[in-house]
Structure 1
Amino acid sequence: MSDTMQGQPADGAQLINAAVDAFKARERDDAAYLLAKAIQMNPPLGGKWGSVSRMAATIGEVSLALEAARRQIQAQPTAENHLAYAQLLMQNGRADEAARQAAALLRQRPNDPAVLHFLATCQVQLGDHATAEANLRRAIALPTVALGAENAWHVIADIKKFAPGDPDIAQMEALLERIGTSEAHRQNRTVLLYALGKALDDAGETDRAFACFDEAARLQKIDSTFNAERNKAFVDAVVKGYDRAFIDSLPKSEEHSERPIFVLGLPRSGTTLVEQILVSHSQVADGAEANLFRPAAMAIPGYTPEEVRAAFSRPDGATLPTRIAKAYLHLADERFGKGVRFVDKTLNQTQYLGLIRQVLPGAKLIWLRRHPAGIAWSCYRTRFARGVDWTRSMADIAAYFRGQDRLHAHWSAVLGDDLLTVPYEALVDDPETWMRRIIAHAGLEWEDGVRDFHKTERAVTTASFAQVRKPMYASSKEAWKRYEDKLKPFFDAYGAG
């Protein structure tokens, strides 16, 4: 990679423009190199450092993204830029530092609801629920919050167990009435419906709880981009063409690292529980929905056999698997620490498991399976911020599940013993047996401390943050049965496939 433009030394702004061009051309490594050189030159970009930070974060370069965010603060030391920096820290596994940044900002702006909410979110991830709830209630009490209190209520609902007659339920109901049903406040209403539904579910009011979840899903469905036919066509292509012969015909990766442990499966299927079990082992540093593989493999525009074959047929295709692997492990170093073992449980990696195996043949693979009704109900009642559009209708959930069932059967046949399937119900019924199998499959020696996985202190960012801080319990297995009659549209659609 040259640092000159048309025969002249490049300045920082030119390098950033060249990085943008490399990004558009899906040349991740070139974009990262150019951004690093530009940041080193420190051109006077002012507020444009924020764009540099976002681009670096998109390609997984955490250190570059954070440095660019710091430059933005130096140029424009606003509360918004400080908060953006803290959010970037939290998104990349640095919850402790994010909380310290938010606490410092709160001392300057004690009545800023955005800062209070963000600090509380950090505290929830770190397990300090009492302090988080106190900060959220401070935000709700601010006169400037008005209709914006629904976000605070949503977090409170996640961390609190409600009883019948709880006065918080009445407060949420009153706020819901004030929000109304206008399009302008649709997102506010959606968030609060999820919070109120959870509270009513805790209180045993299943009919009213379901009505809240159902309305929230319908309101979110308006913005959904999930297409069941397109999803089926993708699964058809993978099942038909991504077999062992196809894999064997592709270039081989020279990177055989066993550092990554991929935990696969649908959201709410027990993946966070297995992640917590694994990171409770002394040889596993941490885990997260890190989303590192997609930026590492951005040279490959799609994951059907045809698209993968086209990428590997380029003039530089023979070395592409190794280059993707090295990029992925570099990004893992950025996120988890250099050279450590880690858990990657990013959603949707079942879609390109064959490519993962091609690029990282030494990685360990674990797939969680759970009764479909349990996952369907848990997904339908959960507010996913982005990227899980198929959770917003019973028919879409059923269509997506049918595709995942086919992918699991396919990859199980293709990968054989390389893929460990863990039934969630069996795990909670017989944890000792299954925890030992999980640890052994990861290539680790058993440690008795793994049994106390719920005592492992770490930031947990998914919707399962509360469950993994408790000992193993089986009550969640059949929580869906209280809503069995309401799930009939799912059962009808799932069975019709």
Structure 2
Amino acid sequence: MTGQSNSLSSSDAMDGAASRGATGKPDQEAVGSPSIASLSALAVKSPDSAKAWRRLGDAFRSKGRHRNATAAYARSITAAFNDAELLEAARAVARGELEETSAIITRRLFAEPDDVVALNIDADLKLRKGDFVGAAAVARRCLSLAPTYPAARYSLATALFRQARLAEALQEINTMLVTAPADPLARTLKAAIAVAVGDTEESIALHRGLLAERPEQPGIWISLGHSLRMIGLTDESVSAYREAIAVKPTAAEAYWSLANLKTARFAQGDINAMRSLLAAPGLREEDNVFLSFALGKASEDAGDIPQAFSHYQAGNITRRAAIRYDPDQTSRNFGRLAQFFNCERFDTHMGKGDSSPDPIFIVGLPRSGSTLVEQILASHPLIEGTQELPYLDAIAHRLATTAKEGKRAPYPELLDRIGESGLAELGREYLDRARIHRKTRKPFFIDKMPGNFLHAGLVKLILPNAKVIDVRRHPLGACVSIYRQLFAQGQGFAYDLVEIARYYRDYATLMAHFDEALPGAVHRVHYESLVNDTEVEVRRMLTYLGLGFDPACLRFYENDRAVRTPSSEQVRRPISSEGVNRWRAFAGWLGPAEGELGALARLYPALPPLGP
């Protein structure tokens, strides 16, 4: 049963408070109410009946005796281990049989709405289906009945984490750890939250603690490797990935993680091992993708570009087949954004949002130089780098979800209806949610989520004094760099060269629209110019930001801040032109992408006229 082992100690500790004393007889207070007395007697007579304990909990709750109710519900959790239906439902969830389990749990909750174990299984189902808001609501309902139920607390913390409500998720997981301090799931989740909020050292400590107890867990070694890489401990990161392979030679993700270091190189033994794994029968689709990208990197390092492309192509084809992505819908969505965020709308709403000048948004396509720009600016004494923050996307997603429910106009059109106070409230929400990432008193901070270019219009309405820097790379260079990168999540456009090229075109068209609708609001940096004439471009950026030049920005590679992206090792070295033209080695395969890009590729960095 999902997480049920976590509930035993806490529920057992509360048994005596529920309905019976040390003798096992109903307590004297319970005898005062015939209903509670009879239910208490039934629970004592049938201690393994989850239903009996739930009934007793309901009775206590109806009388306002919430402490007793909580204890009774907690006892029902332990008793649920004898419930064949719930046990089978939990096993079915673990097997991925979500629809079948959903039907069982729906029937169960219709008959037993206060069945806390069924409620937690329902929360788990919603988590696995991606309904994080629904999962949180069910987990809260469960906890209102059984506040000490660790599995429900874990479900709530996970749901909040998936919604990027990191401060709330951290609070919930800390609450769980008070009563279940050794729980490995809770500690693993806390480590993930620590990474997300920039507490990398705490994440490393948590992972090391888990590995001291369970060194045979390859996933924890891989997570430790990721955290070590973020703070520049590359050798230790490599050792952690190698340890994952040592404890599980089929750990394909560990090989990909080594490749993702960019600066690491594979020995021939590694290559032979990966080829053997790739050829093995019954290989998981996900592992196939990991190994294909890792072998692509190995072949590229060896100078065998045709073989490298073949591996990258195989990995991309496999990943593309497994995801849902509609390039036509993407183009329509971009078009709607351009249509809404026009000159008239900016004139109408400008200045109504929160006036804070703190955020600096670095946007663009992935693998186009945004991490380099972030590292340069985060070396300025007045700017803090907080990495990629998910909050603009979360706000837009929430507004769009609300619109789909029919309660408001569609997003972004509903922004017209929320008024000046509503726009300012959204700006404050962003700032409040970003606060957990700010570890210094520096007045400005960077949000380097590349996909925030989609929300440039939203930014200017809710945070009119925020700055936006668009980092752009040669279209074909961007296409190749994205195609060679396996992303952990999202980026549905990234696994087909023509679809990447189309996405680049849609992106360039949307940003050209913002240039026209709000001249000067977005500052553009071309990656190639930044590499070739660094100081000039750095001074231009700082002038746009209204800040004085500081030579530390040119010594960005000395900055020891944590960096989460695949470029983490590269930005810890002096700037190099080595990667600027690397894409040209793949030119023989870029014809279709080049055709899709048209004048964008031919005239770069000049921008041809772009229509919708």
State the TM-score, normalized to the length of structure 2: 0.71
1:126-163 deviation per Cα after TM superposition (whole angstroms, max 9, x unaligned) = 11111111122122122xx242x211111112236567
Confirm whether residue 357 of structure 1 aligns to residue 460 of structure 2: yes
Alpha-carbon distance, 1:75 to partner: 4.3
Task: State the 1:283 CA deviation.
Answer: 1.1
**Displacement of 1:253 after TM fit?**
2.5
Supply the distance in 2 between the matched residues of 1:85 and 1:175 (Cα, whole angstroms): 32
Residue in 1 that maps onto 2:390: 291
SS of 1:262's equivalent in the other structure is strand
Q: 358, 362, 371: which one pairs with 1:259?
A: 358
- Give the letter aligned to residue 479 of structure 1: R
Q: 1:47–1:75: 8 Å Cα contact kept in structure 2?
A: no
Which residue number in structure 1 is paired with residue 259 of structure 2?
A: 157
Question: Counterparts of 1:68 and 1:335 in 2: how far apart (Å)?
Answer: 18
2:147 to 43, 63, 68: 43
- Measure, in 1, the Cα distance between the counterparts of 2:144 and 2:240: 39
Equivalent of residue 301 in structure 2, options 202, 216, 220: 202
Counting matched residue pairs gives 475
CA distance in 2 between partners of 1:111 and 1:299 (Å) = 40
Structure 1 runs of 4+ aligned residues shifted over 6 Å read 8-14, 38-42, 162-165
The correspondence for 2:423, drawn from 306, 321, 342, is 321
Q: Does the C-alpha gap of structure 1 residues 238 and 99 become closer, same or farther in structure 2, counting only changes over 3 Å? A: same
Q: Is the 8 A contact 2:386 2:447 kept in 1?
A: yes
Aligned to 1:218: 317
TM-score (normalizing by structure 1):
0.86
Q: 1:90 to 1:161 in 2, by over 3 A?
A: closer
Say if 1:299 and 1:311, in contact at 8 Å, map to a contact too: no
Conserved 8 A contact 1:161-1:199: no
Superposition deviation, residue 367 in structure 1: 0.5
Q: Residue 517 of structure 2 is aligned with which of 414, 421, 426?
A: 414
User: How do 1:46-445 and structure 2 match up within 5 A?
Assistant: 46-76=150-180, 77-142=182-247, 145-147=248-250, 149-159=251-261, 161=263, 166-178=268-280, 180=281, 182=282, 185-250=284-349, 252-301=351-400, 307-308=410-411, 310-314=413-417, 317-337=419-439, 340-445=443-548
Counterparts of 1:159 and 1:72, CA distance in 2? 34
Distance 1:389 1:191 in 2: 17
Distance 1:320 1:132, change over 3 A: same
Bigger relative CO (Cα 8 Å, ≥ 6 apart): 1
Distance (Å, rounded) in 1 between the aligned partners of 2:241 and 2:530:
35
Give the conservation status (yes or no) of the 8 Å contact 2:259–2:265: no
Q: How much does 1:251 deviate? A: 7.6
Cα separation, 1, equivalents of 2:144 and 2:432? 19
| Equivalent pair of 1:369/1:423 in contact (CA under 8 Å) | yes
1:480 aligned to which of 583, 592, 607: 583
Task: Quote the offset at 1:85 in angstroms.
Answer: 1.6
Deviation at 1:342, TM superposition (A): 1.0
User: Would the alpha carbon gap of residues 404 and 254 (structure 1) be closer, same or farther in structure 2, given more than 3 Å must change?
Assistant: closer
| Structure with larger Rg | 2
Is contact 1:62-1:335 (8 Å) kept? no
Provide the aligned C-alpha RMSD in A.
Answer: 3.5
Matches of 1:438 and 1:9, distance apart in 2: 63
Q: Cα distance, 1:278 vs. partner?
A: 0.9
Q: For structure 1, which segment, 337-346 or 188-197, has the greater mean C-alpha deviation from structure 2 after superposition? A: 337-346
Q: Does 1:469 align with 2:572?
A: yes
Q: % of aligned pairs identical?
A: 26
Structure 1 SS opposite 2:361: strand
Cα deviations across residues 286-327 of structure 1 (Å, max 9, x unaligned)? 2211111233455521799x734642354x534210110111
Q: 2:312 and 2:571 mapped to 1: Cα distance?
A: 24
The answer on whether the counterparts of 1:119 and 1:132 sit within 8 Å (CA) in structure 2 is: yes
Deviation readout 1:421-443 (Å, 9 max, x if unpaired): 11111110000100111122222
Whichever residue aligns with residue 382 of structure 1, its letter is: Q
